[in-house]
Amino acid sequence: MSGSTPLNTAQERLIALALAVFLFTIYTLTFTGLLRSVDELALFAMTESLAQQGRYSLELIRFAAYHNPVGPLEPGYPALAAPLYWMARHLPLISNLHAVLLLNPLLTALTASTLYLFSQRFNVSRLSRVGLALAFGLGSMAWPYTRSFLREPAAGLAWLLMFWAWHEFDSRPNYLAFLKIVLFAGLAVLMKYSSVVALPVLAILVGWRLWRNQQVRPAALAGMGLIVLAITVLGASMLFAERGLSGVELIQDLLSNPLTPESWLAWYGLLASPAKSIFLFSPVLCLSLLGARAFWRAQPTLSFGILALTATLLIALRTAQWWGGVTWGPRFLLPLLPLLILPVAAVFERQRWAWGILVLSFIFQAFVSTSNWSSIYGDLLTRYPNYDITVGLDWARWAESPVVLLLSRWGRDNWDIFWLYTGDAGEVKLDVWAGLGLGLAVLISSGVLALLVLNWIAPKRWLAIGLSTLAAITAAFTLWRAWVNFQDYPRMQTQQARSLTAAIAASPARRVINLAADLYVYPWLGLLKGPVQAAWLSPFDTGPFTNLVPPQTPFTVVIDHTHLWGHSPAAFMRWLNTETYRFSGGWRAGYELLSAVSGPNPAAQQPGRAAWQTGPALNAFAVASHISAGNVLKLDLEFTCQATACAPHTSLFTNLLRADGLVIPGNDAALQQGQLAEWPGGQTILDRRGIWIPADTPAGDYVLIIGFVQDGQYIPTHSPASDYAELISITISAP
């Protein structure tokens, strides 16, 4: 290899920045703003809870336990996304979901620019290094994964930085380089626990260098090896625990023969099958095979490390769900891509025709990155429930490979970009200004990159500032236009989503509980602003529910009746109607909204002494005599039926009345919010409800009045007859 360039010159760093900005603009041009799997929604849930509560929680996907279970996920990726979420939560005209979905475009662009800088150490020309970065960023399946919210791109960047740190250590052993190895290895594990497979490989590489230089005694090396082994076993134990396996099963797996039929099947599937072959989904990797010999001669130890890491990962995947679920290509091999693609630089150095392969790979990935690949898998799984491990392994059925199907179906029915897609009615949704604006950003960034690579402009500080500004403007423009082009979903149209979030924003709710059984209604949750936190329940959820909402925190329940599919959330509604204090209810955009507050009522119980002519009698009640505006007044009302039977669905009203006639309305609803099926004579029931006191309520003394209404008529009280009973005077103070 020839054409050496000095390491880390200002020109090279500026080219790396230009590469990152150019790729980022390409990725925003093909941005979709949608999730395709429950794993992505789970990571979004962890991101939201970290940004909102300072802790990791999966309340947003609690429903998944009843429909599509999700195990514990690593904390690293949500921690990277949390600042983007926090920023979006405080800005209008931006979806929080769209903001975090910019993370993978950013990480993938940084990975490509890191490849460019790292490959300076391999003594190849600048043009070959640019080709290497573009082969990864535009010629591999890294590009389609920029449209996801999965953690593999972050793990890939960490693995690349980890090996770069080792390469520095191998060139000149020192404590700083060693600390970098430890840091990036730790980050890799935090991004994806399966990164523990890299630890023994790194230990061997570091140990070999120290032993060769005789810098460390053999006993110390053995001790280091034992520590790495212990950490690896601990990490593997965590992985097995996620799969519900025990430590004994872990040991048995480690000691078992890896060359079982199941292992060969997994390796064939990941490397050579029409369903998941990494070479089929990233054809540019074929150039790596051609350049492997030259790369081995130039970098033998690094080549050994990459091969060893590949082998350990493949061995680890043989016992896992190696196909990665409903994802595009071999998802679990994605972190390896930045390392596997390194030999491509040697091919660009010697073979001009290799650039043609890069162009063809770019065209292929462009088709993938503008299409809805999940619809392809949806069709396949409808016909073959276990496609990846049955039909997808048979080359005689090559025409049913996802790659072939996607290319054959590419067109208006399958376009999937936020500014160009097909609507529910089959109409093409096109935002010309978004396409032109992002296309202009691509042209500007590509022009600057070309000028820098050709040395036609010198590195200047203003150029770096300009490129960074272009990236920031592109990101802001993408988020704004994606919000404008918020995609409809059947029975969850854009206007419905915005109407729901507007209603919640106008309410005192600080928590939202979404009751639905359809994953794909999730986009509206990305429009929530401010401190509101969300949880998502299945209609099959049996509780407990008390931990969903902190005591005294107002919350709103959004019931998606359309997507409950006829299943009644009986257990949840029983808790809501009998254990919480509901203070409002109604319908918005076809969805039922119910607001309540939980927690104990601190007020002391008082005798009721009120009765109605149809049989209900108030025995006792509990309510605070003083409350500040901007809070919910809690009422506990104990009734007994003094007739043979009382009507359980008669509407009860609870209002606050000021002397001048000002009324603060409460929640008018049947006893126990309709939960009571029948009310025989002599039965005592407890009814809980609340009255929301708006923050702008005038301070002063109010009287709590309650009464019943049936068929639009007040039911009179006994002695004296009245439309309502006055219970207690309540003082409202300023907030």
Write a three-state SS string for 371-432: ECHHHHHHHHHHHCCCHHHCHHHCHHHHHHCHHHHHHHHCCCCCEEECCEEECCCCCEEECH
Mean pLDDT, range 312-336, rounded to an integer: 86
Residue 1 has pLDDT above 80, yes or no: no
Q: How many CA atoms lie within 13 A of 724 on its CB side?
A: 16
Query: CA-to-CA distance for 666 and 634, rounded, in angstroms?
Result: 10
Residue 383, C-beta contacts closer than 8 angstroms, at least 6 positions apart: none
Nearest Cα to 626, choosing from 659, 606, 602? 602
Q: Judging by DSSP bridges, how do beta strands 511-515 and 555-559 pair with one another?
A: parallel
> What pLDDT, on the 0 to 100 scale, is given for residue 551?
85
Query: CA-to-CA distance for 405 and 329, rounded, in angstroms?
Result: 13
Q: The dihedral of CA 307, 308, 309, 314: what is its sign?
A: positive
pLDDT band with cut points at 50, 70 and 90 for residue 3: very low
Query: CA-to-CA distance for 207 and 185, rounded, in angstroms?
Result: 16
User: CA angle, 445 as apex, 441 and 450 as ends, to 5°?
Assistant: 150
Query: CA-to-CA distance for 396 and 195, rounded, in angstroms?
Result: 35
Residue 2 has pLDDT above 60, yes or no: no
pLDDT band with cut points at 50, 70 and 90 for residue 5: very low
> What pLDDT, on the 0 to 100 scale, is given for residue 215?
62
Residue 575 has pLDDT above 70, yes or no: yes
Nearest Cα to 35, choosing from 522, 383, 643? 522
Residue 240 has pLDDT above 80, yes or no: no
Question: Which residues on adjacent β-strands are paired with residue 513?
Answer: 535, 557
Query: CA-to-CA distance for 711 and 463, rounded, in angstroms?
Result: 75
State pLDDT tens for residues 425-445: 778 889 999 999 999 999 999
Mean pLDDT, range 475-498, rounded to an integer: 87
Q: Name the more confident of 210 and 472.
A: 472
- CATH number corresponding to 605-733: 2.60.40.770
Alpha helices per DSSP H over 567-608? 570-579
Among 95-104, 402-411, 476-485, 494-503, which is the least confidently predicted range?
494-503
Among 198-212, 276-290, 529-543, which is the least confidently predicted range?
198-212
Q: Judging by DSSP bridges, how do beta strands 669-670 and 651-658 pair with one another?
A: antiparallel
Residue 167 has pLDDT above 70, yes or no: yes
Average pLDDT of the chain, as a whole number: 89
Query: CA-to-CA distance for 388 and 377, rounded, in angstroms?
Result: 10
State pLDDT tens for residues 69-123: 787 688 999 999 999 999 999 999 999 999 999 999 999 999 999 999 999 999 8
Question: Which residues on adjacent β-strands are paired with residue 512?
Answer: 534, 556
Q: Are 526 and 95 in contact (CB under 8 A)?
A: yes
Order the strands of the 605-611 sheet from edge to edge.
605-611, 616-622, 631-641, 684-693
> What pLDDT, on the 0 to 100 scale, is given for residue 48?
92
Nearest Cα to 203, choosing from 299, 308, 126? 308
- Ordered by start, the domain boundaries in the chain are 10-33+101-422, 37-90+488-599, 605-733
Provide the percentage of residues in the chain whose pLDDT is more than 70: 92
> What pLDDT, on the 0 to 100 scale, is given for residue 187?
95
> What pLDDT, on the 0 to 100 scale, is given for residue 218?
66
Query: Reduced to 3 states, what is the DSSP secondary structure of residue 592?
Result: strand
Residue 689 has pLDDT above 80, yes or no: yes
